[in-house]
Amino acid sequence: MSGYRFDRLKVLVVDDNQHMRKLVVTILQAFGTIQIFEAESAELAWSLLHDVNPDVIVLDWMLTGMTGLEFTNMVRTNAGCPNPFVPIIMLTGYTQIDHVRQARDAGVTEFLAKPVSVKGILTRLTAVIEHPRPFVRTKVYYGPCRRRRDKEEYRGPERRTAPQDNAQHSMAAAG
Amino acid sequence: MAKQQPIELFMPPNILKAKMGGGIGGLDMAAVKRAEQAIETLKTEFTDWIAADVTKLSACRDAYAATPGKETCGDLYRASHDLRGQALTFEFPLVARVAAILCKLLDSEKVNPPLALIDAHVNAIRVIVKQNIKDKADKTAAVLIKELDVRVDEVLAKPA
């Protein structure tokens, strides 16, 4: 038993497919979440973001109009966003590593490939509650830190702060 | 000489953890069980849901056939992408497989992918759903899917 008060969680589910929204909402309700808001487009989600200020956003990539990636970028960088740190769990049919990288680079917090599973959603929710990622601001990126491995895995010089001989390396790994 | 890129790294306050109460590690298996039971109840609707998705796919196919172009092709891609992601959840793994191959075709740089090959995919999906084929080891479907995959690869291998 994790002991989380899911009844206190406010979630915004953004997906243009009503069946997928219903599936995610059903799972969240079974966890005990009461405050669930739905949006069928990123434009509506942006409006709801201001009205309800969700704790977590569950977001589809492929939306009609603004895509999930564009929405994520807007949440992270638009000065009008009420909470640029809000965790975003991207739920998508894309599974290739290139898509995972694109989502990461846009500022997505967690990536969850379809098909939807109960454990998949709970694992990602637990991750954003227990292990929020630090944020990074560079000239080209603002969002959750894109490094996912433990520090212990890398034993070289500190790439973000190393002097000029490591600068190129630093830029490649920025964020 | 490359310039050092200025980087600011900071940890936002963990408001969520404070709000949700302290977890003691591991998944809440009671919550998992509740949610899986809720999904079981929902399964009675899955056949209707996938039928609706197939109807949407067919409509997008018709729109593409009437007006081939970037917009209608994009709509058709989105409909097949939805099926690719959802059909497995709705217990139609072969539909997910066919939809994935159709996505591969539509996601390519090819201008106006051949309608006959699109139709072969759409019809295969219709038949799988109509005949309620949920066994991913179905031999006839496996042959068909392999053939579709080969045909798509042939189209993609041709110079633009």
Separation between Cα atoms, residue B25 and residue B22, nearest integer Å? 9
Look-up of token digits 């190393």: A162
Confidence of residue A169 (pLDDT cuts 50, 70, 90): very low
Nearest to A167 among B4, B29, B32 (CB): B4
Q: Check CB contact of A123 with chain B, cutoff 8 Å.
A: yes
**Spatial separation of the C-alpha atoms in residues B29 and A37, rounded to whole Å:** 25
Of B4, B17, B52, the CB nearest to A129: B17
Lowest mean pLDDT among A112-121, B32-41, B104-113: B104-113
pLDDT, mean of residues A105-111:
91
Q: In this structure, is residue A48 part of a structural domain?
A: yes
A118–B39: do the CB atoms touch at under 8 Å? yes
For tokens 């609707």, name the residue. Answer: B45
Query: In Å, how far are A18, A72, A104, A151, B53 from A41, measured between CA atoms?
Result: 11, 13, 21, 38, 18
Same structural domain, A45 and A125 = yes
Residues A67 and A92 placed together within one structural domain of the fold: yes
Please name every residue paired with A10 in a beta bridge, in sequence order, or none if there are none. A35
* Shared domain check, A72 and A123: yes
- A83 and A116 in a single domain? The answer is yes
Q: Give the position of tokens 């009205």.
A: A51
Q: Domain count of chain B?
A: 1
Which residue in B27, B140, B56, B42 sits closest to B91, CA to CA?
B42
pLDDT at A164: 43
In a domain, A158, yes or no: yes
Judge whether A80 is closer than 8 Å to chain B, CB to CB. no
Same domain, residue pair A91 and A170: no
Give the range of the structural domain holding residue B133, as residue numbers without chain letter: 46-157
Residue B2 lies inside a defined structural domain of this protein: no
Give the per-residue pLDDT at B24.
Answer: 61
Contacts of B6 in chain A (CB under 8 A): 138-139
Q: For residue B70, is it within any domain?
A: yes
B 28-67 → A contacts, CB under 8 A: 28-32, 34-39, 42, 49, 52-53
Query: Looking up tokens 């009675």, which residue turns up?
Result: B44
Q: How many other CB atoms are found less than 10 A from the CB of residue B107?
A: 14
Q: Which amino acid is at B40?
A: E
Would A174 be classed as within a structural domain? Answer: yes
Sheet containing A10-14: order of strands: A35-39, A10-14, A56-60, A88-92, A110-113
Residue A16 lies in domain: 6-144
Q: Which residues, including other chains, have CB under 8 Å from residue B117's CB and lie 6 or more apart?
A: B105, B148, B151, B152, B155
Query: Do A132 and B17 count as a contact with CB atoms less than 8 A apart?
Result: yes
pLDDT at B70 over 80: yes
Task: Please check whether residue A1 lies inside any domain of the structure.
Answer: no
* Interval A124-160: pLDDT, tens: 999 998 888 888 888 888 888 877 654 445 555 555 5
Residue B39 forms part of a structural domain: no
**B120 within a domain of the structure (yes/no):** yes
Share of chain A above pLDDT 90, in %: 54
Is A134's CB within 8 Å of B9's CB?
yes
Is A86 a member of any domain? yes
Residues A155 and A136 in one domain: no
**Residue B106, domain CATH:** 1.20.120
8 A C-beta contact, residue B9 and residue A174: no
The answer to whether the CB atoms of B23 and A130 lie below 8 A apart is: yes
User: pLDDT-based confidence at B15, cuts 50/70/90?
Assistant: confident
CA-based nearest distance B122→chain A, Å = 18
Classify residue B29: in a domain, yes or no: no
Instruction: Let me know if residue A53 belongs to a domain.
Output: yes
Q: In Å, how far are A9, A107, B9 from A55, measured between CA atoms?
A: 6, 16, 22
The answer to whether residues A17 and A89 belong to one domain is yes
Q: How far is B26 from chain A (nearest CA, A)?
A: 6
Residue B85 corresponds to which tokens in the numbers above? 């992601």
Domain membership of residue B149 (yes or no) is yes
> How far B111 CA sits from the closest chain A CA (Å)?
21
Are A137 and A154 contained in the same domain?
A: no
> What's the structural domain count of chain A?
2
Quick check: is B106 in a domain?
Answer: yes
B114-142 pLDDT per residue, tens: 999 999 999 999 999 999 999 989 999 99
CB contact under 8 A, A138 and B8: yes
Distance CA A158, CA A171 (A): 12
Q: In this structure, are A152 and A137 located in the same domain? A: no
What is the percent of chain B where pLDDT is above 70? 91
Task: Tell me whether residue B119 is in a domain.
Answer: yes
